[in-house]
Structure 1
């Protein structure tokens, strides 16, 4: 039987291990730089939620999100960060249960997230649960500290 519960600061090492496993699955393990101590701090913040799925006391997946505000509507929405189910546990309804738990918490608010264009299995899963897919490009701009101000003052 699978149970789902909210992660607490005491679950920081478990959440960190699951995140690292997801990143490894996506070939991005080096992108996870958060420490377990920092994760403990983040799990204590009210706008950040992780739900952990467990089978017989063993973590088998999670879903995470942040509460954000839409400046267009003025209302809050849930910005889904990750949905992950461990290898060997996929295909048994765990992802659906986790997303169902998010839907309950959302209480009518919009839930938004990103999915890689190449991740067709995830796209099929999301469409199966009723999500709409809206093509968009994701822009990332990581500017060295202090460099942006110097660049803008110098006229780019």
Structure 2
């Protein structure tokens, strides 16, 4: 190699995938807003609501974060599921997000793998995830992560509770 050739090596940051902690609430809330905006939605989430749902008296969700040591660059939110007719516990991978500039480095794969580990540790027999009909990149990603596409059948109804 000629002496005047300069090689620039840019390494992705070392990332720790871990359970969210109370100190993560502001950055986690920010990433939820970024994901909502990506889908054309407005986020109504607040750090206080996240604190209630992650760390309150009756935790409702689990969150995993991708931590570089200086910032959070991704997250996954898990919500319990149940198939009563089969007596099977499951987990819904409700959100999966990696910040711009950090995609394509395997962060999403690591978050999914840790989500699987968490679900198994809780006695779950399956992990479920959904993606918008036209989000073909997400479809390919989940298929590469060994998820099997399943048709959505029937209607889902909602009733607001006062």
Same fold by TM-score, threshold 0.5 exceeded?
Answer: yes
Distance 1:144 1:69 in 2: 22
- The 1:41–1:132 alpha-carbon spacing in structure 2 relative to 1, beyond 3 Å, is same
Number of residue pairs aligned between Structure 1 and Structure 2: 144
Q: Quote how far apart the aligned CAs of 1:141 are.
A: 4.1
Of the structure 1 ranges 58-67 and 136-145, higher mean CA displacement relative to structure 2 is found in: 136-145
Q: In structure 1, the residue corresponding to 2:87 is in which secondary structure?
A: coil
TM-fit CA distance, 1:56: 3.5
The Cα shift of 1:38 comes to 1.3
- Give the corresponding residue for 1:75: 88
Measure the CA separation in 1 of the matches of 2:127 and 2:154. 17
Match of 2:19 in 1: 6
Report what 2:127 is aligned to.
111
Give TM-score scaled by structure 1 length.
0.83
Residue 71 of structure 1 and its aligned partner are, at CA, apart by 1.1
Unaligned runs of 5+ in 2: 1-13
CA apart distance, 1:145: 5.5
Q: Larger C-alpha radius of gyration, 1 or 2?
A: 2
Q: Contact 1:11–1:40 (CA<8 Å) still a contact in 2?
A: no
Residue 22 of structure 1 aligns to a residue whose secondary structure is helix
Deviation string, structure 1 residues 35-81 (Cα, Å, up to 9, x no partner): 22111111114441100002232110001111222112112110111
**Structure 1 pair 9–137 and aligned structure 2 pair: CA distance change class (3 A):** farther
The normalised TM-score by structure 2 is 0.80
Q: Which residues of structure 1 form unaligned runs of 5+?
A: 147-156
How many Å separate the matches in 1 of 2:160 and 2:79?
25
What secondary structure is seen at the aligned counterpart in 1 of 2:113?
helix
Who is 1:26 aligned against? 39
Whether the 8 Å CA contact 2:52–2:59 is kept in 1: the answer is: no
More helix by share: 1
Return 112-121 or 47-56, whichever deviates more: 47-56
Q: Does 1:42 align with 2:53?
A: yes
Whether the aligned pair in 2 keeps the contact of 1:12 and 1:43 (CA below 8 Å) is: no
- Partners of 1:57 and 1:72 lie apart in 2 by 45
